[in-house]
Structure 1
Amino acid sequence: MPRFLHTADWQIGRQYGRFAPEDAAVLAEARYAAIERIAALAARERVDAVLVAGDVFDAQTVSDRTIRRLFNALGGYQGPWILIPGNHDAALAESVWTRAQRLGAVPPHAHLLLEPGVRAFPEHGFAVLAAPLTQRQTHGDLTAWFDTAETAEGLARIGLAHGSVQGILAEDIDSPNPIAADRARRARLDYLALGDWHGFKQVDERTVYSGTPEPERFRDNGSGRVVRVDVPGPGRAPAVEPLEVGQYRWLAWDETLSVASDLDLLVERLDGLPPEAVLDLTLAGAIDLAGARRLDRTLSVVQGRCRSLQVHRSGLRLEPTDEDMAALRADGYVGEVIAQLRQRQDAAPGEAADTAREALAILAGLLGDGGDEMEGGTVPAARPVPEESGRHAGRQVEGGQ
């Protein structure tokens, strides 16, 4: 009874330009660590092979060092690693794969299936029908030949492909690299291991997307897993179980603050974040000066505790109460400036409103307790934690790749 680990979409060499350099480097490094955990898991589970369904590398242009590090990470499991190219690392005439072979970086137990065909592993009881991508996009189904492919009697038939199952995934990614939804049935496959979709998805009892083993997007789709597959025998339905291997938890929160209890709940949630959290926090609504100070203190603590915190607060208005203004004892010219800033925050478009809000926070902090003493000088207490902007702004939207 063959047993496999099925994984895909490692995308080694991926860059994280939207993050601060310190976080980007750690998140990129986590992808190597995920492969090492898969190797250790494969050894513990005594699997017959690890199936890697494409997009091993994020780009053809990764460095030689990246190539060597990837194949070194396979060392924890000495059984067969069976890898095909995907759309990010297609098997072009000159590709990351041919470079890896020239470097002598590919270990003997890593089987690179760079051309369509059947590779039998009779000592392990299975044969792989491989449909590697030899160009980034194709509009024909590269698995169609599976239907007529012959394999030795008694061997489990395992399909390995990278693409979009038609009619199952999002409509906007159903055209590049299509795969027929009933391919496993038509080709008499015992299991069809797929890559391209970055979350775990079981299409039918024999057709599965493993997802990426280390999350890299703000989407709750079951990423961070590999799939353990037990095939009872040719023609029998496999037992499929996703297993957690990811390290970091990517979270996207949209929070609207309207009353004091909203802030209480948000602070409680933030205090409960684990160290492995990668949080994208969007704030909206309104907050008074005391609430702003409390929120800033909480965010400062969280920034030092979790892996990454990005805060988008353009939708959060600072609304000092009359009590706030009275406590500031702002009258005359300063009082007029505060009034103007409050009006501009509500009326001005986009960036001008953001500037007015920050200016109001700074001025309120200066007039209030004079700021919190920090290393290197005095920082106004009510000044907002800077919002991630420019190259850090915006969220990635998951597609097939």
Structure 2
Amino acid sequence: MIRIIHGADFHLDSPFSGLSPDQAARRRGEQRELLGRMAQAARERAADLVLLAGDLLDSERVFQETAQALARALGDIPCPVFLSPGNHDFWSPRSVYATLDWPENVHIFSSPQMEAVELPQLGCTVWGRAFYDSRQTDSPLAGFRAPEGKGVQIMCVHGDTAPQSEYGPLSPAEIETSGLDYLALGHIHQGSGLRRAGRTFWAYPGCPEGRGFDELGQKGVLYVELEEGRAQAQLLPLGRRQYEILPVDVTGKEPLEAVLAALPQDTSEHIYRIVLTGEGESPNLPALERELAPRFYGLTLRDQTRLPTDLWKRREEDTLTGLFLRAMWTKCQEEPEERTYQMAARFGLAALEGGEDVSL
């Protein structure tokens, strides 16, 4: 049995543009800490291999301390480490992969052609290749067939199973006919879980920690136990912080009370987007944020509430308010997903009710 740690898509030195400059700097520091936790996981699980399937870096521009932290963490892993550069951290003569002195246990695939590294002590071969640009339209599995009777066959590549992708597209049929025992993929930030095509097991581990509201929940790396014809995988959480979206229905409730009732027990380490839904008067978002912000590492509020149904009944009135509501009702019915009309109705009513509402 071969024990594998499979990671990808760390995107070290991401800009974190949605956070304040101080928070963004802290988040980049926390990203480097993920490397140490991955190395610790490899030691605790007595891993035989670590496979890193691309986009460890967010771009060619890397802080020196990040490059040094990466090399140091990988060198602390007591087993071979294989790294396949992806579309964000593609290999070039100027890349950190070419210019930094890497530990002896680290093998970086540096060719656009498939390369094989035999590991007789493990009875396996590890295949891989590198992105040479930010786009790569050919499949890493095009024409590939692993040799039979040569032990366990493993591949570590950056690629995309979506059709017509520009990022190393590969198809289920190519995976099935590859002859591989395990295909370690990177590029997709949502973990796939362990899958199988023919005899080949394959997976995306997802990113090890979310960087935005398109990367929700708990993240990490995969721990895989592999032998010919059998595999099992487990997610090892690495991330310190999670991005979460929490819808809260405020119908008939005070917004603050409704939010507090819906919150999990501990949110102080995480970044939340709270979406207010249901019917009610327009909530005071600045005041609500002042009350709630200390409970989170980061917080944004979104108002998606609707005007109370009974308020729309006033559109039958023979008043300026009725005339205004009739016009807004029509707009809201024509484009129910357009939030602008709901907001216009709110502000318009506030303005009307602040003055004299005369009959027509």
RMSD of Structure 2 on Structure 1 (CA)? 3.7
1:287 to partner: Cα distance: 4.7
Q: Which residue of the other structure, out of 123, 128, 131, is the alignment partner of 2:129?
A: 131
- Give 2:210's aligned residue: 215
Alignment partner of 2:16: what SS? Answer: coil
Q: Does structure 1 residue 258 correspond to structure 2 residue 251?
A: yes
CA distance in 1, matches of 2:147, 2:306: 67
- CA apart distance, 1:159: 0.9
Deviation of 1:22 (Å)? 3.0
For 1:300 and 1:192, the matched residues in 2 are separated by 48
Query: Is the 1:32–1:73 contact (alpha carbons within 8 Å) kept by the matching residues of 2?
Result: no
- TM (norm. structure 2) is 0.77
Q: Is the 8 A contact 2:147 2:179 kept in 1?
A: no
**What is residue 226 of structure 2 aligned with on the other side?**
231
Letter in structure 1 aligned against 2:185: L
Q: Partners of 2:216 and 2:280 in 1: how far apart? A: 33
Identify the match of residue 108 of structure 1 among 92, 97, 104.
104
Question: What's 2:294 paired with?
Answer: 304
Q: Percent identity?
A: 23
Equivalent of 2:169 in 178, 189, 196 = 178
Whichever structure has more helix as a proportion of its residues is 1
1:42 CA drift (Å): 0.4
For residues 68 and 35 of structure 2, what CA distance do their matches in structure 1 show? 13
* Alpha-carbon spacing, 1:350–1:20, altered in 2? closer, same or farther (3 Å): farther
Q: What is the rounded CA distance, in whole Å, between the counterparts of 1:297 and 1:231 in structure 2? A: 54
Q: Distance in 2 between matches of 1:271 and 1:42?
A: 31
Q: 2:264 and 2:136 mapped to 1: Cα distance?
A: 48
Letter in 2 for 1:155: G
| Contact 1:211/1:222 (<8 A) preserved | no
**Deviations for 1:107-151, whole angstroms, at most 9, x for unmatched residues?**
22221111231011222332111132122212211222431x548
The amino acid that maps onto 2:268 is: P
Alignment of 1:1-400 (within 5 A): 1-99=1-99, 101=100, 104=101, 106-115=102-111, 116-147=114-145, 149-150=146-147, 153-165=149-161, 169=162, 174-201=165-192, 202-204=194-196, 206-219=201-214, 224-232=219-227, 235-260=228-253, 264-270=257-263, 272-284=265-277, 287=280, 299-313=289-303, 315=304
SS at the partner of 1:68? helix
Q: In structure 1, how many angstroms separate the alpha carbons of the residues matched to 2:256 and 2:223? A: 42
**Alpha-carbon distance change, 300 to 74 in structure 1, aligned in 2, over 3 angstroms:** farther
1:92 deviates by 2.6
Which letter maps to 1:96? Answer: V
How many residues were matched structurally? 325
Query: Which stretch of structure 1 is more off in the superposition, 46-55 or 29-38?
Result: 29-38
Letter in 1 for 2:94: E
Q: Identify if the C-alpha distance between structure 1 residues 139 and 44 changes in structure 2 by more than 3 Å, giving closer, same or farther.
A: same
Q: Is the 8 A contact 1:81 1:110 kept in 2?
A: yes
2:85 and 2:269 map into 1 onto residues whose CA distance is 30
